[in-house]
Amino acid sequence: MRLNVNGKAYEVDVEPETPLLWTLREFIGLTGTKYGCGIKQCGACSVHINGEVQRSCSIPISAVKSSDRILTIEGLSRDSSHPVQKAWVELDVPQCGYCQSGQIMAAVALLEKKPQPTDTDIDEAMTNICRCGTYQRIRAAIHLAAGTGKGGSGSIIHMTADAAASPGAPIDGGKPEREEVH
Amino acid sequence: MNKTNSGRSANISRRKFIVGSAAAGGGLALGFNLPFGVEPAAAQGPAADNTEVNAWVVVKPDDTCVVRVARAEMGQGTHTGLAQLVCEELECDWRKVQIEPITPGQNLARKRVWRDMATGGSRGIRGSHDYVRQGGAAARMMLTQAAADQWKVPVSELTVANGVVTHAGSGRSTTYGKVAAAAAKLTPPDPKSIKLKNPRQWKVAGKPMKRLDTAPKVNGTHVYSIDLQLPDMLHAAVKACPVYGGKLKSYDESKIAGRRGVGGVVQVNDATVAVVANTWWRAKSALDALPIVWDEGPNAKQSSATIAAHLAGGLTSGDAFADINDGNAPQAIAGAAKKIEAVYSTPFLSHACMEPMNCTVRITANKAEVWMPSQNAEASLAALSSASGLPLAQCEAYNHGLGGGFGRRGGTQDFVRQAVAIAQRYPGRPVKMVWTREEDQAHDFYRPISQCRLSAGLDQGGNLVGLHIRVSGQSINAWLAPHNIKDGKDVRQLQGLWKGAGDAQMGYTVPNLMTEYAMRNTHVPVGPWRGVNINQNAVYLECFMDEVARAAGRDPLEFRRVLMKNHPKHLAVLNAAAEKGDWGKPLPAGVHRGIAQFMGYGSYIAAVAEVSVSSKGGVKVHRMVLATNCGHAVNPATIAAQVEGSVAYGFDALQNEISIENGRAVELNFQAYRPARLHQLPKIETVIVPSYDFWGGVGEPTICVTAPSVLNAIYAATGKPVRTLPIKNHGLTLV
């Protein structure tokens, strides 16, 4: 069957029940879209179909029409220049990064619908799972990309040198008698 | 199939390292500890690249400084932090720093010049700061010496900054890139002659530098192990007996005969079966259709209820050992004016890395290779060698940036052994094995389950005169590393309640104090889960402290302060959290605060949580302020990211459990095991209070104060302590 992915036509010979996710990853070679749960819970597989964010792990290829416009992370921009990608870089959002393709695709879809999202809009739209816990920076980066002026720097850091420099326990330079090593 | 090639793996195999015969004598590696009985070489091995100044630093003609790293990057930011430390001493231009991970085969071939590759126990920075800084400093000395030799001037007349060497006397300057080849030929300096900078004078380290690994993570080009594509690759899906300890009895291959792309069924080991196909989806679909008969064995009778009863026995049994026994706690409590008692419990938890367990193995007659996401690439290499039967020198392991680790991908390497068994059936062809989420949840090495009985005695004045803590639960060492249990006493399960300073010391002084552990093992596999045993023990001690403070009629912060006078570092961090967390200041109606402090991985941590609880049991965490003294703060931004992540991951300890029915895990996907979502997260503030006199960990310690600070706020809000987790069993939900 024929697929339109990132503006290119692909001919794929797959069983009709094959999910779009695995068609993208294994037949078209676009591995930026990730497998996380397979039951549309985590959103790591998020792509856009005709501008709507969808969880590709649970869409059989038989439900995709050749006229459907599928957009994956690889097609979002040629050079990571989409405002959401730029905001993600600016605020160092990713940690392990595995969920971030999906997070970015969800954020782009949100901003296309609501260019000036509120925190409540972000709460409702951004349901993708991140195990590293990059959520605070995701929220800030969405505000940054939207130009709402509400995002701040993401992380809130109070750094107080020497505030804890009390004499302390006698550990300096020494190895503790016991420690957790795993 | 139109398949792209993996740049990552291809790059590794093309890299021009001379991997000579492994001089390192390691015999075959078994077990979980490092197999390589080799002393690290000095910070200089035989140069394998003509601009390799030393093992840690390669300077290219265009002044790019390649910093080699041995530890794994799984999102925690260690690669960037290590590069900062090297760059600081190297005095190179931070904008020209690149990271290059080394492989365990390279490390072995060069007598472990890069030392330990294990990445766990929050040791990525604190376990390697000295030798990587020395590597950077030695490279700087050699590069400046090369310039001095070229100009025939004393090296003492040269200055260096941002990779530019200057001789003020003659007005000459050059760059690292121009002298690197000459520097690489010099004899490295005596390590004893290397003087490291005072961290208070750091310019690159200690600063919130941006991560070096972000770019490919925003456009889909970062190649995780699961993304690897190699020519002729086969794909495998696996299923192990859902009951731990059960066996594979039989399967009916005829039922999946003729399925498109399916190559065959492989018995992986006595409890596991795999289907191999030309795509993973076909392998997985065929495996789902394969009739499998398990011999579930006697463990199929086990459940959460039987396990709870087993553990409860340990709360009062005679077989516990005392780790701390100061004064006479039972007697002091019995004779106290007021006595408080409580029993707490915490469940099994799964790691739920976003990237499920996977790896790719290729085996030929004289070579075995694995591509994997590993927290310990040397353990992966060892597993590959022992499972394939090929000597270490004929094995190589290519680590990919991990899609989460959290302790799951360290010593056990079960996934590598499985993939080897499958790949052995297809010599010469790479086989990529990927677990489903369900398999990943069903076959974890879970956070161990435990219960804790605590009793305390207060005198007439409300002072704590006795504290008795008895932990009963499963031992990680008993499952994974029994050799670590000395004289039958597994102190590891009391992590965070230790008396000794420096790693996980209890911050309270109580005149009569007893800590005990009764080992109660189950049939369920357990292992280190980010934070390991401080998570449970912090819930027990810190939530109980609030109960005791309330019984004494004292403010929880004030009550703690009195007990912490002998532990000023613990106290300073508690005070920092309290101050930035506005402890004692007015709050909106219905919002309550909770506080907790603890120590783990050499660092001191504390948190204040602001929480409201609705009449329907909705728990809203509005704000959390978390303080840490990790000694030296190498990258404050990365530390903040780890603190924020500790809240999200720590929420698992509040709202999740792996329960056991019919001997197997129940919560097999994210509809049942629910990782924290964005909307549940509070506003998080990170307070960093470095005291510059030790090196503490960052990735794990903070998790342990997340749950108790929130639970103590729930207690403040409702007047009812939550003693058994998860909170859903009390009609409470994080909203």
d(CA A122, CA A148): 12
pLDDT of residue B498: 98
Chain B positions touching A98 (Cβ under 8 A) are: 224, 354-355, 403-404
Higher pLDDT, B158 or A171: B158
**A89 has a pLDDT exceeding 70:** yes
- CB of B599 within 8 A of CB of B504? yes
Please report the beta strands in B475-617, taking only residues with DSSP state E, as ranges in sequence order: 512-519, 592-600, 603-613
pLDDT of residue B39: 46
Q: What is the ipTM of this complex?
A: 0.94
A78-153: CATH topology is DNA polymerase; domain 1 (1.10.150)
Best residue of A55, A96, A175 to probe chain B, by most B CBs closer than 10 Å: A96
pLDDT of residue A134: 98
Q: Answer whether A20 touches B (CB < 8 Å).
A: no
Report long-range pairs for B147-155 (Cβ below 8 Å, ≥24 apart): B147/B174, B147/B179, B149/B182, B150/B174, B150/B179, B150/B182
pLDDT of residue A162: 55
Q: Answer whether A176 touches B (CB < 8 Å).
A: yes
The confidence band for B376, taking pLDDT boundaries of 50, 70 and 90, is very high
Phi-psi region of B230 (alpha: psi -120 to 50; beta: other; left: phi over 0): beta
Chain A positions touching B400 (Cβ under 8 A) are: none
Question: CATH 3.10.20.30 occupies which residues in chain A?
Answer: 1-75
Q: Answer whether A9 touches B (CB < 8 Å).
A: no
Average pLDDT, chain B: 93
Q: What is the pTM of this model?
A: 0.94
Write out the two tokens for B603: 């660092």
Best residue of B218, B400, B608 to probe chain A, by most A CBs closer than 10 Å: B218
Q: How far is CA B92 from CA A68, B51, B61, B63, B86, in A?
A: 50, 15, 14, 9, 9
pLDDT of residue A161: 64
Nearest to A89 among B218, B437, B502 (CB): B218
**B710 has a pLDDT exceeding 60:** yes
Amino acid at residue number B193? S
d(CA A141, CA A107): 9
Given an 8 Å threshold on Cβ–Cβ distance, is B215 in contact with A179? Answer: no
Q: Answer whether A165 touches B (CB < 8 Å).
A: yes
The confidence band for B48, taking pLDDT boundaries of 50, 70 and 90, is low
Tell me B569's DSSP state. H
Q: What tens digit of pLDDT does each residue of B225-234 get?
A: 999 999 999 9
- CB of B145 within 8 A of CB of B157? no
pLDDT of residue A180: 81
Residue B209, number of CB atoms within 10 A of its CB: 22
Amino acid at residue number B52? E
Report whether CATH 3.10.20.30 matches the domain A1-75: yes
SS (H, E, C) B64-95: CEEEEECCCCCCCCHHHHHHHHHHHHHCCCHH
Given an 8 Å threshold on Cβ–Cβ distance, is A131 in contact with B573? Answer: no
d(CA A156, CA A77): 30
d(CA B248, CA B496): 40
Q: What percent of chain B has pLDDT over 70?
A: 93
Best residue of A31, A74, A159, A182 to probe chain B, by most B CBs closer than 10 Å: A182
Question: CATH 1.10.150.120 occupies which residues in chain A?
Answer: 78-153
Given an 8 Å threshold on Cβ–Cβ distance, is B219 in contact with A80? Answer: yes
**B33 has a pLDDT exceeding 50:** no
**Helix, strand and coil percent figures for chain A, each rounded to 5:** 30, 15, 55
Q: What tens digit of pLDDT does each residue of B510-569 get?
A: 999 999 999 999 999 999 999 999 999 999 999 999 999 999 999 999 999 999 999 999
Which of B13, B375, B699, B505 lies closest to A132, judged by CA? B699
Given an 8 Å threshold on Cβ–Cβ distance, is A95 in contact with B222? Answer: no
Q: What tens digit of pLDDT does each residue of B82-111 get?
A: 999 999 999 999 999 999 999 999 999 999
The confidence band for A152, taking pLDDT boundaries of 50, 70 and 90, is confident
Q: How far is CA B628 from CA B81, B299, B380, B598, in A?
A: 17, 43, 33, 10
Q: DSSP string covering B399-412, please?
A: E---S--TTTTSS-
pLDDT of residue A163: 45
Q: What tens digit of pLDDT does each residue of B470-518 get?
A: 999 999 999 999 999 999 999 999 999 999 999 999 999 999 999 999 9
**Helix, strand and coil percent figures for chain B, each rounded to 5:** 30, 25, 45
pLDDT of residue B49: 61
- The residue written with tokens 């003509």 in the block is B50
| Domains of chain B, first to last | 31-217 (3.30.365.10), 225-297+357-434 (3.30.365.10), 304-349+446-734 (3.30.365.10)
Residues 22-41 of A with CB under 8 A from B: 22, 25-39, 41
Nearest to A96 among B121, B280, B402 (CB): B402
- CB of B710 within 8 A of CB of B654? yes
- CB of B474 within 8 A of CB of B521? yes
Largest CA distance in chain B: 84
Nearest to B219 among A73, A167, A180 (CB): A73
pLDDT, mean of residues B348-370: 98
**B168 has a pLDDT exceeding 70:** yes
Q: How far is CA B334 from CA B455, B456, B472, in A?
A: 10, 9, 22
Q: Answer whether A61 touches B (CB < 8 Å).
A: no
